[in-house]
A and B are shown apart, each in its own frame.
Chain A
Amino acid sequence: MREVFIAGVGLTKFGRYDGKKGRPRKLYPDLGGEAIAKALKYADMEWKEVEAAFGGTYYGGLGGTHQCVAKVGLTGIPIANVFSGHSSEAALRLAYTRVALGVHDIVLAVGAETLPSGLLDNQSMPVWMRMMGLDVIPAETACHAVRYMKDFGASLEDFARVTVMERKHAVLNPNAMFQKEVTQDEVLQSRMIATPLTLLMNCANADGAAAIIVCCRNKLRSQTKAVTIASIIQTSATYGTAFSGGSLSLSTKLKNPDSVELAAKQTWETSGYGPGEMDVIQIYDPFSPSFLWNVEKCGFCKPGEAPRLLKEGYFEIGGKIPANTDGGIMGRGHPTGATGIAQVAEIFFQLREEAGPRQVKGAKIGFAQGGGAGPQTVITVLKR
């Protein structure tokens, strides 16, 4: 397998492009096209150099990547839609393997989304479960949040603190949806969605797009501060865990690592690095409590320790392990199909020292976790 580099990254500003309240009206192919064009520009490449494309959208429907690519050019290359919900990082993994295996030299991964408002549809559940209302997406996380509080003594304030931190980071990121800080009280007093999760502990439906171009070494236009993919691991559900995401019962007898724990374990084995070596991390948190248990499952601290560390500023820019420096999902917004690639994009900017006011000084190795329907987990480690 040969080394794979990130040649360029392109992001649109995340927010709303619904034509309401004076906001511009754009569809996801427009946003996807814009992100691809920016990534090409960053990479100093032309569209006709791209040999294959992988990408996805959650809500865009069929041919999502084709429609984004069509805004840039039609060159007949293979384009595959990876329909995995939030984890366009799965598309990046396929792009990575193509280059690593020497099938192609330059490959695009793109994710784009324009979302409806309100609760999103959990399409993978059978109708009988949806008639029973079991398809409320925040509900499962809410139940786990209740258990997390009971098992580790975590509090609602701990959940609120995740949002407060991420909104603070978001203000430093011009591409983030939210450009205003919030207080702990504001989070706690926002509307209840699914107890104990208030509105500001839930991801905001957003529109946006993100694109990454990967290539082999000799296609890089410049070798300065070149960023490579040290590992990219994808896992799916395991049996005998507390998280399901599916329509079958869970076992209370077996205790196996879940998809996040498995992906983290494989990441540390494959990359040769450990959690202590990461300079900057992106944790997948569609709901603020998920930040806490995901940071634990990935090995950055012990189970139940995250709330205390968060309170001590451990995960802030300037802290011991800066996390979600671009605002994370709470601050950046969650255009589902674009999120996975955006997670990796932030690490790229940090390692290139292009993160402006949110720059983590001297960051050389970073970690990006993405999650998606299935459930599935994708974890990427980048290094400069």
Chain B
Amino acid sequence: MREVAIAGVGLVKFGRYDGQKGRPYREIYELGAEAITKALKYADMEWKEIQVAYGASMFGGLGVPNQCTSRIGMPGIPITTLEGACSSSQQAFRQAYYDVANGLYDVALAFGTEKIPPGLIADTLAPVWMLMMGFNLPGMYAIETRRYMEESGATEEDFAWVAVMERKNAIMNPNAFWYQAPELTIEEVLNSREVATPIRFLMACANADGASAAIVCSKEKLKSKSRMVTVVASSHATASYGYDNLGIKIREKGNPTCTELACKQVWEASGYGPEDMDVIQLYEAMAPSFLWDAEQCGFCKPGEAAKLVREGYFEINGKKPANTDGGLLGRGHPTGATGLAQVIELFLQLREEAGPRQVPGAKIGFCHCSGGGPNGVCHILKR
């Protein structure tokens, strides 16, 4: 396998593009095309240099990635749509990485784009009979959260701490949903309306629209090698026996979760460990999952995360800066674009282009994204 570099990235500010309340209206493929155009510009590459593309969208429907690229050009290259729910675009990134690493192509594009219907998100991972019985996504998170509270002793206030921290980071990120928004207080989070007990509105990710794109290439194809960022390792795992298709543990005698499996693989493949990481991206569609994700990825011991959050361990000037762009809670969660946005934040940090949220001297970073299935995808980047 040869070295794979990230040549350029592009993001469309995460927000609402629905034409309501004075907000602009943009089609889903216009968002995707804009992100790709920005990535090309960043990479100083022309569209015709792209040899293969992998696109993602969770709600856009069939053929949306092709609609995005068709707004820029139609070179007839293989364009494949990947769907991995919330991790879709990080899976697209992984395929692009694989193709370049194995010498199949020299320049590959990955992107994700999304426009989300407002309100609770319909979950097609569950069969209709379960949906008729009232089964829903926040409910599933709530149930997992209860178990976590039971096992770790975490409290609702701990979850509020996560939301407050991520908002603080998002305020500094011009591409975040909550850019320049007021800071949150613990009280505000704890007094926001209940979505599914014990989860409250401000503990949930913001439904957002947006798009993300990244171009990966072999070292020779880079236009400039200064501060070059490469992909050290990539992993992708799904459920082992004992979990249902939403990731809930349904057998007490457990195998590892898909997060634990994916992390184990990425640490092994990279030769690095959690202690080596300068900056990290964890997956938290709901605030509580930040805590168990930090633990399952190996950044602390089980049950320890809540205490560390309160101590500022995961803040930008803390020991292990996490979700420096605001994470899913602060950056917003345009599902199909989220996975790649994680990669992009690491890239910007390692390039020292993260502005006021820069982690000084960051040289190596880790991200983990989860999605329905369930699946877990991890990447390690380094400068």
In their complex, do chains A and B touch, with some C-beta pair under 8 Å? yes
CB–CB B237/A77 < 8 A = yes
Contact with B along A240-266 (1 / 0, CB 8 A): 000001111000000001010010000
Given A126-B27, A373-B62, A376-B79, A76 and B372 contact (CB-CB distance below 8 Å) = no
Answer yes or no: A299 CB below 8 A from chain B CBs: no
Interface residues of A (CB under 8 A from B): 27, 56, 58, 60-64, 66-67, 69-70, 73-85, 90, 93-94, 97, 101-103, 121-124, 126, 234-239, 245-248, 257, 259, 262, 372-376
Residues 216-245 of B at the A interface (beta carbon under 8 Å): 236-243, 245
CB–CB B76/A262 < 8 A = yes
- The 5 lowest CB-CB distance pairs between A and B, nearest first, are A123-B61, A61-B124, A373-B63, A374-B66, A124-B63
How far is A192 from B2 in the complex, measured between Cα atoms in Å? 56
Known: A79-B238, A101-B103. 20 other contacts (CB 8 A): A62-B372, A63-B125, A66-B374, A69-B238, A76-B238, A78-B238, A78-B375, A81-B82, A83-B83, A84-B81, A90-B80, A94-B95, A101-B102, A124-B60, A124-B62, A237-B70, A246-B70, A247-B29, A248-B71, A372-B63
Q: Chain A residues near B242: list those with CB within 8 A.
A: 74
How far is A81 from B78 in the complex, measured between Cα atoms in Å? 16
Q: Chain A residues near B62: list those with CB within 8 A.
A: 58, 83-85, 122-124, 373
Q: Chain A residues near B236: list those with CB within 8 A.
A: 78, 80
How far is A67 from B239 in the complex, measured between Cα atoms in Å? 11
Interface residues of B (CB under 8 A from A): 27-29, 58, 60-67, 69-71, 73-85, 91, 95, 98-99, 102-104, 123-125, 127, 236-243, 245, 255-256, 258, 261, 371-375
How far is A373 from B256 in the complex, measured between Cα atoms in Å? 37
Distance in angstroms from A7 CB to nearest chain B CB is 21
CB–CB A73/B241 < 8 A = yes
Q: Which residue of A lies closest to B64 (CB)?
A: A124
How far is A78 from B253 in the complex, measured between Cα atoms in Å? 22
Distance in angstroms from A231 CB to nearest chain B CB is 13
CB–CB B258/A62 < 8 A = no
Given A78-B237, A236-B69, A66 and B373 contact (CB-CB distance below 8 Å) = yes
Given A78-B238, A237-B74, A124 and B80 contact (CB-CB distance below 8 Å) = no
Can you offer 15 A-B residue contacts whose CB atoms are under 8 A?
Answer: A62-B372, A74-B240, A78-B238, A80-B236, A84-B62, A85-B62, A103-B102, A123-B63, A124-B64, A126-B28, A234-B80, A236-B69, A236-B75, A247-B67, A257-B76
The interface residues of chain A, by DSSP majority, are classed as: loop
CB–CB B81/A238 < 8 A = no
How far is A369 from B374 in the complex, measured between Cα atoms in Å? 32
Kindly identify which residue among A69, A80, A234 contacts B84, using a CB–CB cutoff of 8 Å.
A80
Kindly identify which residue among B95, B104, B238, B372 contacts A77, using a CB–CB cutoff of 8 Å.
B238
CB–CB A94/B80 < 8 A = yes
How far is A97 from B124 in the complex, measured between Cα atoms in Å? 29
Q: Chain B residues near A67: list those with CB within 8 A.
A: 125, 245
How far is A245 from B3 in the complex, measured between Cα atoms in Å? 37
How far is A69 from B125 in the complex, measured between Cα atoms in Å? 13
Kindly identify which residue among A80, A94, A121, A373 contacts B66, using a CB–CB cutoff of 8 Å.
A373
CB–CB B238/A66 < 8 A = yes
Q: Which residue of B lies closest to A128 (CB)?
A: B27
Q: Chain B residues near A27: list those with CB within 8 A.
A: 127
Q: Which residue of B lies closest to A233 (CB)?
A: B78
Given A61-B124, A238-B76, A239-B73, A79 and B66 contact (CB-CB distance below 8 Å) = no
Distance in angstroms from B147 CB to nearest chain A CB is 20
Distance in angstroms from A256 CB to nearest chain B CB is 9
Q: Chain A residues near B238: list those with CB within 8 A.
A: 66, 69, 74, 76-79
CB–CB A80/B82 < 8 A = yes
How far is A239 from B71 in the complex, measured between Cα atoms in Å? 11
Q: Chain A residues near B375: list those with CB within 8 A.
A: 66, 78-79
CB–CB A76/B75 < 8 A = no
Q: Which residue of B lies closest to A120 (CB)?
A: B62
Q: Chain B residues near A236: list those with CB within 8 A.
A: 66, 69, 74-79
Q: Chain B residues near A79: list those with CB within 8 A.
A: 238, 373, 375
How far is A373 from B65 in the complex, measured between Cα atoms in Å? 10
How far is A375 from B74 in the complex, measured between Cα atoms in Å? 11
Given A82-B81, A94-B95, A235-B76, A62 and B63 contact (CB-CB distance below 8 Å) = no
Q: Which residue of B lies closest to A56 (CB)?
A: B83
Q: Chain B residues near A259: list those with CB within 8 A.
A: 76
Q: Chain A residues near B65: list those with CB within 8 A.
A: 374
How far is A90 from B74 in the complex, measured between Cα atoms in Å? 18
Q: Chain B residues near A70: list those with CB within 8 A.
A: 239, 245
Most chain B C-beta atoms within 10 Å of own C-beta, residue among A69, A80, A126, A257: A80
Kindly identify which residue among B66, B78, B83, B91 contacts A93, using a CB–CB cutoff of 8 Å.
B78
How far is A330 from B148 in the complex, measured between Cα atoms in Å? 53
CB–CB A76/B66 < 8 A = no
Kindly identify which residue among B81, B104, B127 contacts A97, using a CB–CB cutoff of 8 Å.
B104
Given A103-B98, A236-B69, A74 and B243 contact (CB-CB distance below 8 Å) = yes
CB–CB B74/A76 < 8 A = no
Q: Chain A residues near B123: list those with CB within 8 A.
A: 62
Q: Chain B residues near A80: list those with CB within 8 A.
A: 82, 84, 91, 95, 236
Q: Which residue of A lies closest to B92 (CB)?
A: A80
Q: Chain A residues near B104: list those with CB within 8 A.
A: 97, 101
How far is A184 from B70 in the complex, measured between Cα atoms in Å? 39
Given A76-B258, A123-B60, A234 and B70 contact (CB-CB distance below 8 Å) = no
CB–CB B83/A124 < 8 A = no
Most chain B C-beta atoms within 10 Å of own C-beta, residue among A62, A97, A121, A246: A62
Distance in angstroms from A91 CB to nearest chain B CB is 9
Q: Which residue of B lies closest to A27 (CB)?
A: B127
How far is A123 from B372 in the complex, measured between Cα atoms in Å? 21
Given A66-B239, A239-B73, A234 and B78 contact (CB-CB distance below 8 Å) = yes
Given A67-B245, A80-B82, A234-B78, A85 and B63 contact (CB-CB distance below 8 Å) = yes
Q: Chain B residues near A257: list those with CB within 8 A.
A: 76
Q: Which residue of B lies closest to A86 (CB)?
A: B62
